[in-house]
């Protein structure tokens, strides 16, 4: 039986709760708070809401604010678009099925993807590809993955649709832009299925993990930093409360044993439906829905990333005040960002004169992890790297790479790149540096405006 067929009493409770929530006033969280503390966004399937908490919340605490969905939507999974500061939510119950996009900081609805052309059919998981500007949706009853432009709105047809004989009930989804892959948790086949990111139509997967202790896997997280896949094994029954499994990213086959298995009564796992990674604290965060027969606490729990066995959580959000109502998904947000200042020392020089760019990289909001600045310097010139932090940089031809590591809030790294211009440089040169980093929850990039220098020739 599919998990979505909740009994009539649960359905009634969901609508009553949603009616009460609609009377609440939507709060607003200052950007500075979100940047420094982080947030956890929880989709409440039974409450038609997304509740938001400080990332380190523990105990019976009220949400910082609540994003109100439409009555009966049944929000399932949630994802963050960092570039646009948007919250993307799949709505799994109300027909026509839809995907809602909210302003992350205010909770205001910006647009919906919905209608007969969309191909949405009981949408479950969502993943945002910020590099390629796409949104990926897993459709449970549609047995498909549909792909849309990140700005899609209304009755928009998907750009691509992936189906496969190896995919019957997709419920978890991650996009790997580093390896151009889509990783799917399929609870119908008790499997993890990997497709090419650009696949379209009826497709054979690149890899399949099946057996291996998988039991109704519902949520998935990709950990590129450690080359792992984390899976929320829902079980959908109590007292067998579920498990979090870790696999190598390229694991495949029926004999692919998990690297770790978090499971047991001490874990307080309860029908876990999603798992997210907190890189900054080296932890994982799990949404426990309690959809199953029997009783255990609806909660959001956090553990050490490498937790293995029957390990108690480091933190638990549970009780009456959090307003959890079948919490089916939890995703994390940090406001960390990196700015790159790329300025020419002089905007006009004569041919043969020295040209210099001053490049300063600064972490804003919170800690930025693994900051790497790259710069393809204007060709045809012999560039030298200087400045306070030049020791972190290396050159290969005109390609400059600076690995600055973790930068705390307000910390800057400064370098200069200089060369002597030639007549071939006329009438000018242009330079553009870029920074890649992780904000604690996702890999991001920062690209400033290009800086030009006019070269005067006699």
Residue 145 CA neighbour count, 13 Å, CB half: 37
Model pLDDT for residues 119-144, shown as the tens digit of each residue = 999 999 999 998 889 999 999 999 99
Token pair in block for residue 376 = 């393809």
Model pLDDT for residues 8-45, shown as the tens digit of each residue = 233 333 333 333 333 333 344 444 444 456 899 999 99
Query: Is residue 236 very low, low, confident or very high in pLDDT (cuts 50, 70, 90)?
Result: low
| Cβ-defined contacts of 11-20 (< 8 Å, 24+) | 13/46, 13/325, 14/45, 14/46, 14/47, 14/48, 14/74, 14/325, 14/326, 15/71, 15/72, 17/46, 17/47, 17/325, 18/47, 18/48, 18/49, 18/71, 18/72, 19/71
Among 177, 77, 185, CA closest to 130:
177
Residue matched to tokens 């030298």: 384
Q: What is the mean pLDDT of residues 311-320?
A: 96
* Other beta carbons within 10 Å of 293: 9
Asked whether the predicted pLDDT for residue 260 surpasses 80, the reply is yes
**What percentage of the chain reaches a pLDDT higher than 70?**
90
Least confident of 135-144, 240-249, 379-388: 240-249
Model pLDDT for residues 151-169, shown as the tens digit of each residue = 999 999 999 999 999 999 9
Domains and CATH numbers, the chain: 8-333 (2.120.10.30), 337-456 (2.60.40.1530)
Q: What is the mean pLDDT of residues 374-396?
A: 95
Residue 252 is predicted with a pLDDT of 96
Question: Rounded distance, CA 411 to CA 436, Å?
Answer: 16
Residue 241 is predicted with a pLDDT of 80
Residue 294 is predicted with a pLDDT of 63
pTM metric for this prediction: 0.83
Q: What is the mean pLDDT of residues 399-409?
A: 92
Least confident of 213-217, 236-240, 293-297: 236-240
Evaluate whether 48 touches 323 at the Cβ level (below 8 Å).
Answer: no
Q: What is the mean pLDDT of residues 351-367?
A: 90
Token pair in block for residue 126 = 């969502």
Asked whether the predicted pLDDT for residue 239 surpasses 70, the reply is no
């Amino acid at each position: 039986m599919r998990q979505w067929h909740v009994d009539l009493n649960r359905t009634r409770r969901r609508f009553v709760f949603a009616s009460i929530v609609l009377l609440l006033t939507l709060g607003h969280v200052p950007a500075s708070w979100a940047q420094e503390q982080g947030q956890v966004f929880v989709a409440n399937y039974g409450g038609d809401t997304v509740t938001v908490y400080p990332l380190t919340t523990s105990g019976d605490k009220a949400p910082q604010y609540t994003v109100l969905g439409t009555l009966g939507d049944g929000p399932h999974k949630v994802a963050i678009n960092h570039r646009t500061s948007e919250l993307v939510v799949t709505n799994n119950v109300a027909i026509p099925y839809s995907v809602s996009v909210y302003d992350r900081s205010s909770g205001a609805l910006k647009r919906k993807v919905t209608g007969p052309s969309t191909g949405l059919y009981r949408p479950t998981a969502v993943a945002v590809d910020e590099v390629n500007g796409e949104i990926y949706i897993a459709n449970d009853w549609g047995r498909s993955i549909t792909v849309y432009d990140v700005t899609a709105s209304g009755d928009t047809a998907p750009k691509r649709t992936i189906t496969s004989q190896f995919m019957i009930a997709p419920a978890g989804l991650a996009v790997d832009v580093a390896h151009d892959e889509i990783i799917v948790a399929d609870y119908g086949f008790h499997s993890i299925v990997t497709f090419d990111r650009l696949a379209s139509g009826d497709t054979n997967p690149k890899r399949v993990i099946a057996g291996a202790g998988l039991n109704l896997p519902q949520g998935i997280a990709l950990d590129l930093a450690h080359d792992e896949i984390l899976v929320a094994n829902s079980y959908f029954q109590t007292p067998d409360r579920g498990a979090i499994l870790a696999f190598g990213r390229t694991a495949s086959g029926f004999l692919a044993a998990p690297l770790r298995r978090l499971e047991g009564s001490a874990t307080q796992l309860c029908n876990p439906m999603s798992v997210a990674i907190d890189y900054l604290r080296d932890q994982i965060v799990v949404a426990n829905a309690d959809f199953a027969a029997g009783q255990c606490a609806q909660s959001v729990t956090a553990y050490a990333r490498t937790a293995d066995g029957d390990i108690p959580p480091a933190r638990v959000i549970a009780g009456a005040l959090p307003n959890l109502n079948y919490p089916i998904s939890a995703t994390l947000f940090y406001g960390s960002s990196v700015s790159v200042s790329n300025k020419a020392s002089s905007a006009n020089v004569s041919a043969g004169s020295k040209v210099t760019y001053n490049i300063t990289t600064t972490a804003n909001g919170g800690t930025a992890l693994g900051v790497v600045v790259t710069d393809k310097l204007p060709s045809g010139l012999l560039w030298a790297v200087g400045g306070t932090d030049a020791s972190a940089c290396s050159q290969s031809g005109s390609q400059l790479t600076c690995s600055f590591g973790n930068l705390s809030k307000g910390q800057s790294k400064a370098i200069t790149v200089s060369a002597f211009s030639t007549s071939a440089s006329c009438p000018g040169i242009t330079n553009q540096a870029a920074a890649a980093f992780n904000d604690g929850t996702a890999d991001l990039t920062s690209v400033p405006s290009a800086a030009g220098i006019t070269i005067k020739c006699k």
